[in-house]
Amino acid sequence: MASRPARPVHIADPAGGRTDRAYPYWRQQRMRCIALILAACAASASAAECGPDKLGTERTIVLQREGAQYGAQQHTALPLEKGEVVLTFDDGPSADNTPLVLKALSDQCARATFFMLGQGLRKDPDLARETVREGHSAGIHSDTHPHMATLTPAQQLDDLALSRAA
């Protein structure tokens, strides 16, 4: 049997893609708990359940978001093992592409992280909900995908507020 060249790793953000401290502490803890439970459930859909011919998801990495800054690098290099890859998709949800990606991931029993735009969330909120229902993680990528380094801190916060409102 041929060996698989890469083992996908699913990244879960316990803060649900939110990178600020706008939520009360108890709600942040509740969201983290729910995210960990969902991540454990998603991880239970292992390659063994899907069959050896499927890509599957090897494990889930949960990133801590303590003190994260919107518009800045959020973490150091991921602790990946040799042969592991992380599947991420940016700038959705998109009615043209996201269903195709979800079908391909489902066919391979694989999980991914979707970094969504606020404008896409407003345009197709049901597709975003479906993505999460299928066991994938979702994070905020921005509202309209500006180059964050060109924005003032106030403009970055405005972009975050628009994204979160979506």
Query: Maximum CA pair distance of the chain?
Result: 55
Positive or negative CA dihedral for 38, 41, 46, 51? negative
**pLDDT confidence of residue 147:** 87
pLDDT tens string, the chain, 166 residues long: the values are 455 556 666 766 554 544 333 444 444 445 454 544 444 444 444 445 788 888 888 888 887 765 556 666 666 788 888 888 899 999 999 999 999 999 999 999 999 999 999 999 999 999 999 999 999 999 888 999 888 889 898 998 899 889 889 8
**pLDDT confidence of residue 51:** 83
User: What does the domain layout of the chain look like in residue ranges?
Assistant: 7-69+81-165
Q: Quick one: which of 133, 9, 128 has its CA closest to 79?
A: 9
The alpha carbons of the chain give a radius of gyration, in whole angstroms, of 16
Tokens of 119: 């404008």
**pLDDT confidence of residue 95:** 95
**pLDDT confidence of residue 24:** 45
